[in-house]
Amino acid sequence: AQSVAQPEDQVNVAEGNPLTVKCTYSVSGNPYLFWYVQYPNRGLQFLLKYITGDNLVKGSYGFEAEFNKSQTSFHLKKPSALVSDSALYFCAVTPEGLTGGGNKLTFGTGTQLKVEL
């Protein structure tokens, strides 16, 4: 069975500083990895994904994530945080390939990012 760990419930960072939100995963075979963001009282929005290829993936709003197969990690990063980045961030995983049963994502428990002036 697949699983995702987001070890930090909350990450605090000052505006303008770099941010990292951590994610590690467990899956049989190669992973497909996703990051989603949730603003208050809203649904989840897709940020970026890793399928194959370059280990550094760039996504929406200046976010990027680095896939590290040996460490089974997919940390979300941004070089310069904005107050408007404050939100709840979810990492998700599914095994590579079509299972015939859709793309059943397994989500982490979420990390609350707080960016302060």
C-alpha 28/C-alpha 71 separation (Å) is 15
Q: Give backbone dihedrals phi and psi of 8, rounded to 5 degrees, phi first.
A: -110, 125
Q: Counting contacts by CB under 8 A, is residue 116 touching other proteins?
A: no
In the complex, the smallest distance separating the C-beta of residue 52 from other proteins, rounded to whole angstroms, is: 6
User: Where on the phi/psi map is residue 47: left (φ > 0), alpha (ψ -120 to 50), or beta?
Assistant: alpha
Residues between 20 and 59 that touch other proteins (CB under 8 A): 32, 34, 36, 41-46, 49, 51-52
Q: What character string, x for contact with other proteins (CB under 8 A) and - otherwise, covers 62-91? A: ----------------------------x-
DSSP string, 14-28: ETTS-EEE--EEE-S
Residue pair 37/52 in contact by the 8 Å Cβ criterion: no
**In the complex, least distance from residue 117 CB atom to other proteins, rounded to whole angstroms:** 27
Under the rule (CB under 8 A), what is the footprint of other proteins?
4, 9, 32, 34, 36, 41-46, 49, 51-52, 90, 94, 96-98, 100-105, 107-110
